[in-house]
Structure 1
Amino acid sequence: MQTDYSRAILKYLMDYSNMDYPVNIHQIYEHLFNGQELDDNKKRGKLDTIRKNIVGLHTNGLIEMDTEFSENTGKRERYKKEDDDVAIWYEQKLDTRYALILIQKIMEMNNLSLNDKKNLVQAICDCAGSKIMESASYAQNVIKSNPLYDLTEKNGVKDSILFEGQQRYKAGNGEIPDIWILLSNIYNVLEKKKRKKISFKLYKYNSKGKFEVIHDDREYVVSPYFVTERAGMYWLIGLQDSESEDAVNGHKKNLGFYPIDMMKKINILEEDARDISEAFDGKEMTKEEKYKYIIEHQQVFYDEAEKIVIRVHKKNEDESENNTAYNLIYRTFGDDFYMLNEEETYDRILVIKSPYFIVKWAIENIRDIEVETETIRDRIRNEIESLDKIYPA
């Protein structure tokens, strides 16, 4: 009975190949036998069997080849030297370049433990070709040059700057609690099940890095809709019960953002979740509108979004050209703004955003932009007056 190497071949291709890094039949042979992946003393016919297995994997759609092997005229399939020119690879589920972007993003997540990050990075590498990612120097540079990588209590950077008599505390919540309970309920809709309300308690850190419940141990009851990531944190977007004491901070209709890493004692209730349309005067919310909601409430401020006109400075106070203004605009809004008209010293653009976010953002970036909408200007003035009381001249 002829030996079948198909599973070993497929594993090798999944680990070591993709469209950009194909291999040939001889490399597969060298890995399987000289690399001692397989212990087979039968020298004769190995390449012929590998050739046949590769053809079978390709026929079944499990691997890709840029051309077919040379035609065989004999009774049995035979390996030929020209077969080395055939490029063979496994079509990875994740492109190497996208994998690097995901890895970088995961390393920046503030509410994932180091162990969670390492497990996620490994899973991403497996989806992109683990040995390719492992051997690619640029992949290792992305991971290991990140200051969050492999930081331990013993050699943590904070220890090196402490003075005698100083103390520091380790934060007590290293992982996202009960996240799977939350997500399984949110995505019940994918299994045609009815989504349920959830209850939870919100916590805060004290000065010693320990968790303390807030709002006098009050239980939140929320109809959950979707999860988003902003500023390196996971947030639940949901509609708090209007019967609650301060539903969504007093906004009975608006959706609220809840920091998942501060949520504990998450429970799925028997009561069906309220429909998301209740937050929008009975209108249904499409996927596009959900995305739009997240964009308009940038940095998880959930006051009602408004149309706001902003002046983008084209010149500095000394009349020199301003070279940074549109860097700020595109880095903040991407292409999610509208050009109104151009003036000599500034351009006017329109954004639809949370006013609270724009107020904070405008104060930070006074050299590059100026808010034109008068109601927002009033709020900026009030904010500056408050700052002046804290930092008087």
Structure 2
Amino acid sequence: MKRFIQTGLVVALASAGLAQAATELVIATVNNGHMIEMQKLTPVFEKANPDIKLKWVTLEEGTLRQRVTTDIATKGGQFDVMTIGLYETPIWSKKGWLKPIATDAAYDVDDILPAIRSGLSMDGKLYAAPFYGESSMLMYRKDLADKVGIKIPDQPTWAQVKEFADKANDPKAGVFGMCLRGKPGWGDNMAFLTTLVNTNGGQWFDMKWQPQIDTKPWKDAITFYVDMMKKDGPPGASANSFNENLALFNEGKCAAWVDATIAASFISDPKQSKVADKVAYAQAPVAVTPKGANWLWSWNLAIPASSTKDDAAQKFIKWATSKEYIQLVAKETGWNTVPTGTRKSTYANPEFQKVAKFAEAEKKAIDSANPNDSTLPKSPYVGVQYAAIPEFQAIGVAVGQQMSAALSGKVTVEQALKTSQTAAEREMKKGGYYK
């Protein structure tokens, strides 16, 4: 009898131990400022959910894409929550690789900005929840524009912006006229360059899925970019992406920068930026057409179908993408640092409007981006700065390497376009789009 009681006690204690063992959620995310802030707030979530422990895997953007794509395609099950983009979500949800996000009334899915919500939904269900959304816009030094006597309109042309960059460029004083992405990658330099191609009247593929890279609009756009960056860009621009240009801008080394609207939160923050009080904002510059001149993107949290920790993952995602989370960040670090581009309520908040001088320009850019109509000639694909087909990643990477090589002077623009065209044709034939 005594032995039975002891055995029962051991079993009871073991059960109690099991009950207390927290579920570990492995979260793959990108090393951007807002995600790093989310990690800092881990204790807040864990305190409210003592049965869940968060384990972060933080990666550079290109590495993150490779790791999560490989893991989800092979059903590797390494991650319970993945940070994925507007590009992957529709492709992966169609393949059945993602679990739908279980939203309730408190989550208020109708509060999500329509352009972002529609890109993350299929058959009325949300397959990834937006952590922050963005378009692209021009951020520039108003003090330098005044100094060189140039007034930048709300919707500038690339010619106007180049004139400003030329005049403001002063390398001896440590100021470069223009900072733009040069680091190769479909989500790095090609995100920006695709918008430049779009506004010059170009596209990735025509209605027969034939690549259109070796064409006049592409040549015009890439020649303009290479010439301007050689004249007005910082040294080593072919290695710079978002984070590198953000650091340069915050140090006061960029007169102008066209990139993600989300950057405005950081460059307007006096704790991070030496020029916080000198920045102004305008819509992304246009050339031949306004179509596709500014991109649309969101970083989102999603649950791979292979995850066995669905309940915990759903809890975490709803917390990190809720209205309450935005309030929490505002309380911790100020309204000018909250993740933006996802909820109407953020833009309607008077506290946010008071500190975010960029709010109007940012929301206007996001609302005006149209992934279903982003090129002057009709295109068969959805997406502004990408084509939402599985083959695009490989094509975008190959083309990005050629454009970076052209920027660094290793090849001519003509050679880069010709090589890119051949690579794109090969991938599209392999994908069965044409013979």
Q: When the two structures are superposed, what TM-score results if normalisation uses the length of structure 1?
A: 0.23
Q: Does 1 or 2 have the higher relative contact order (CA < 8 Å, sep 6+)?
A: 2
Return the structure number with greater helix share.
2
Return the structure number with greater strand share.
1
Q: When the two structures are superposed, what TM-score results if normalisation uses the length of structure 2?
A: 0.21
Higher Rg = 1
